[in-house]
Amino acid sequence: MQAFQLVVLLSVFVRCCLCNGTLSLFGDYHREHLPVQLSLNESQEDGNLLLPFNTTRVSGSPEALGIQQFILDHFTTGLQNNWTVEQDNFQENGYNFTNLVFTLDTARSDANKNGTKYILFAAHYDTLVNPAGFIGAVDSAASCAILMYLAQFLDTLAYEDRELLQQTILGGEYGVKIVFFDGEEAIEEWTATDSIYGSRHLAAQWLEDGTMEQIELFVLLDLLGGATTKQVPRWKIKSYYKEAHRHYQQLSKIEDAYLADPATPFSKKELFPSDVLYMMMGRVLIEDDHVPFYNASVPILHLIPFPFPETWHTIGDTFDTLDEAEIQRWAVLLSEFAVDTMAGPQ
């Protein structure tokens, strides 16, 4: 297993916490960084990637511009490698929108001779205009913070020892793109033209400039990180698209290994690979930022619980309803998943 090899190579830096040979999570790295970077403790401000999102983020507003700057600073000055930074600015419906696109080229130079291919991870950072004061903690502050953590994790792996890593993700099949979409939410009411402003704009651009053909897989995070309740005893993230079902299965295996670790605070799965009902329907049942990419035949792994959290699109979607452990769970699973997928088929 690729990730296992990586752990052996970097045994000083990370050590697996699941040493029974099947999977390795980068235990020491996460133990060191998660409590600080994905913390809900208000006294823990330094290096915190989550708390800055505890604000409204209406497209084009001063708060949204502040969050854009926070994200940009993370990638340009916080990280060690040279991420390519692109800002996709445009106006529509009287609003200013900005997608933020970050690329790390880690693929082997001879991989994919027709041009580098990428695994794309994305979430949206904007929030609803109404109700006024809507924070969007699960929608999608937590997902954005998880992506920032993932970026830092991959950046650290790629930086620590480029030579050793030639055999692993740096010498793998795929690079990575991380996208923060603006304008996912409708301004008035969800229609084809009043929603997913950012992803529609970026997809149109990528169809034109050929980038779309370079996207091997699109992993979309949404509504993650909420606390479960009596009504929702645990989250269920379905496999929605058969084109990405093998990736769903792969993530589920990582989840199994994670749950088997005595140190994890959870025992229940959220992924159910045998539950193929949605996938078999073969169409879009939950509209989100993936739709324009789905229409362009990109395989989609949509990580969204269904049913949605009870606080969805209510003023109650606040940081009080987030679950730190749940957020950290996704950060760990996606870190491992990214390394595995970027390495390419084994």
Minimum CB–partner distance for residue 284 and Zn ion (Å): 16
**Residue 5 partner contact from Zn ion, ligand NAG, none using kind-dependent CB cut-offs of 5 to 8 Å:** none
Q: Lay out the site mask for ligand NAG across 193-212 (x = CB under 6 A, - = otherwise).
A: -------x------------
Choice between 187 and 338, CB closer to ligand NAG: 187
DSSP line for 271-317: B-TT--HHHHH-S-SS-STTHHHHHTT--EEEE-BSSPPTTTTSTT-
**Residue 96 partner contact from ligand NAG, Zn ion, none using kind-dependent CB cut-offs of 5 to 8 Å:** ligand NAG
Minimum CB–partner distance for residue 265 and ligand NAG (Å): 14
Amino acid at 173: E
Choice between 23 and 187, CB closer to Zn ion: 187
Choice between 41 and 87, CB closer to ligand NAG: 41
136 binds ligand NAG (CB under 6 A): no
Choice between 128 and 339, CB closer to Zn ion: 128
Choice between 139 and 216, CB closer to Zn ion: 139
Q: Identify whether the C-beta of residue 123 lies closer than 8 Å to the C-beta of residue 131.
A: no
Choice between 43 and 346, CB closer to ligand NAG: 43
Residue whose pair of structure tokens reads 């511009």 in the numeric block: 65
Stretches 16-24, 165-173, 224-232, 244-252: which one binds ligand NAG (CB under 6 A)? 16-24
* Interface residue with ligand NAG, options 2, 13, 28, 54 (CB under 6 A): 54
Smallest Cα–Cα separation from 344: which of 176, 207, 211, 221? Answer: 176
Residue whose pair of structure tokens reads 């010498």 in the numeric block: 171
Choice between 113 and 230, CB closer to ligand NAG: 113
Could you give the angle at which helices 324-343 and 27-37 cross, rounded to 10 degrees?
Answer: 140
HSE-up of 100 (CA within 13 Å, CB side)? 22
**Residue 139 partner contact from ligand NAG, Zn ion, none using kind-dependent CB cut-offs of 5 to 8 Å:** Zn ion
Dist. CA 304–CA 57, nearest whole Å: 20
DSSP line for 27-80: HHHHHHHHHHHT---TT--TT-SSGGG-S---TTSHHHHHHHHHHHHIIIIISS
* Interface residue with ligand NAG, options 319, 329, 337, 340 (CB under 6 A): 319
**Residue 167 partner contact from ligand NAG, Zn ion, none using kind-dependent CB cut-offs of 5 to 8 Å:** none
Q: What residues does 66 pair with on adjacent strands?
A: none
Kindly calculate the radius of gyration of the chain based on its CA atoms and give it in whole angstroms.
19
Near ligand NAG in 242-281, by CB under 6 A = 260
What are the DSSP E strand ranges found in 126-225?
174-181, 215-221
* Interface residue with ligand NAG, options 2, 4, 15, 44 (CB under 6 A): 44
93 binds ligand NAG (CB under 6 A): no
Phi, psi of 187 (to 5 degrees): -80, -45
Smallest Cα–Cα separation from 139: which of 123, 150, 151? Answer: 123
42 binds ligand NAG (CB under 6 A): yes
HSE-up of 328 (CA within 13 Å, CB side)? 24
Stretches 71-79, 99-107, 111-119, 178-186: which one binds ligand NAG (CB under 6 A)? 111-119
288 binds Zn ion (CB under 5 A): no
Q: Are strands 84-92 and 95-104 parallel, antiparallel or unpaired?
A: antiparallel
20 binds ligand NAG (CB under 6 A): yes
Near Zn ion in 129-148, by CB under 5 A = 139
**Residue 21 partner contact from ligand NAG, Zn ion, none using kind-dependent CB cut-offs of 5 to 8 Å:** ligand NAG
Amino acid at 306: F
Amino acid at 280: M
Residues near ligand NAG (CB under 6 A):
20-22, 40-44, 51, 54, 60, 81-82, 94, 96, 112-114, 192, 200, 260, 291-292, 295, 319
Binding residues vs Zn ion (CB under 5 A): 139
